[in-house]
A and B are shown apart, each in its own frame.
Chain A
Amino acid sequence: MAVEFSEKADAEFKELVSRYPNTLAAMLPVLHLAQREFGWISVEVMDYVAERLEVHPTKVLNAATFYTMYNKTPVGKCHVQVCTTLSCAIRGGYELIEHLEEKLGVKLGETREDGAYTLSEAECLASCGTAPMFQVSYSDGEIEYFENLDDQARVNQVIEQLNARLASLPDPRKMH
């Protein structure tokens, strides 16, 4: 199946491009849009973005591989990224990972077999005052921060909230 923006995404694409003096500058926001639309940034998606921006495909490859927010392989419906950089390391980020591994049934750096969760470690997410914390990137493109997670009961509540949301989220592995 060839990738192609929906009508709504196409309108957003045109609006994004209009903000800049050239199409290349729209690269980052357009790759975010493409990831929302197609689940992850495959070579096919990169080629499509290059065609739409009228730039050489290597320019898209260059950007897509430089930035960590673009997934070059499919991740789970909920990509749980735990910050462990400085304040989070000091305030229990690693203990949080151990707890999540047990509760989510997935090891750090892996995606659960049913495609529900990916668990990974993230560099500083600018929530040092509310450490420890994790960010969840949902497969519908939303990002949510969960902060002050030094209490396991609160973490369990958050997991219940994520579990409840799973049914409404698309599976990135099947989005294109």
Chain B
Amino acid sequence: MRHVRCALMGATFLLGLAALPIGPATTAHAAAPIKIEVMDWFTSSSETAALRELVAKVNAAGGDWQNVTIAGFDQGVAAAQSAAAGGNPPTALQFNGGKQFDDLAERGLLNTIDGVAAEQDWTKVLPPALGASISRDGHYYGVPIDDHGETWMYTSSAAFKKAGVAVPTTWDAFFPAMDKLKAAGITPIAWGGQDWQEFGAFYTVLLSKEGPDLYNAVFRDKKIDAVNSAAFKDAVDTFGKMRAYVDAGSPNRNWNDATAMLIKGTGGVQFMGDFAKGEFTVAHMKEGQDYGCYLGLGANDHYFMMSTDVLIMPKGKGADRIAAQDLLAKVAMSKDAQLAFNNAKGGVPARLDIDSTKLDPCARKGYEALKVPGNQLAGPEMVLSADLMGSLTDVVTRFWSSPTMTSDQFIEKFAAAIKDADD
């Protein structure tokens, strides 16, 4: 869901963590179920269902999962710290793969998961970019429990049928189709007017219209030249053009409310991460029949822009901490758990050696694409600091909500944000 949020959880947790006395954790094998305390912010219905699958697997393997859910993290600044207070951080914490736990790893506040990683041969089974996002200097610090495709396009069959127009498969066909939807009284683009969603829609346009090289040059390599290129401007123009196809209710709308528009047939398309799929499933809608899912639009619709939820393992007191962390890592990365978790949550397994026939049609589409090494892209979260990501999000959301702002101003601000970033 909103991946940015985890940074805030992380931040606050970290504040707590850093105050803890860091003692050597000793390994001990307890006969009784090993208590595993996990702090996460899985709160939506599909997330909760996914979590239950994982909990069941861990408990079956001899664990005793105790969940600490953080709710309300949008502004829920410091909630994660409560568990850290008193000098005893939980066994594991949910984070996102990427730069978010740099500070933690650098300061030696985390246990590595190298043992389990070697045993399960993570280097081989994980997409390299995903592996890089959870490791530092050759050590693994996070257990990836899923792999989310960031740049999906969903379509409502009912809406397109009503408008009497085919679902566009190229960018050339996109806006004419939107016009038809509009003429039929449908909101062409079901838009969630929150900054992170707008940011997501922007990089979806960038990737699927201009291709992975430009995306990588801008987001991963932070090349100012790329930002000043004609192709980037074209992406900005295209993104800006979408403003004419949303409704008055879009500002501040949640992503799932936007998905609901597609389900009801009042909205035509939605650009969103793969977790939106869960909403269709809950509404008993069939892929291909009632709704469509596409990995982007146009010629580049086979690139899989990744983001991942990871469990990190803070150091702390307690004799069986290491044992608990190992158990958790082992189970969470097992094929069974990856499959069960992601089928419920909407993502695809982080490891690539799983039988894709057990996935639903949309996930299979994504997973097959992901298996091709050339299709794997590190998502913004993996390559940007929270700070820079925030600044870029500001630029995108401002551009979106001020129709008077030109593409050139967008580009200028975007470039300035990259130059001003501290890293």
A and B are interacting partners:
no
Interface of A with B (CB < 8 Å)? none
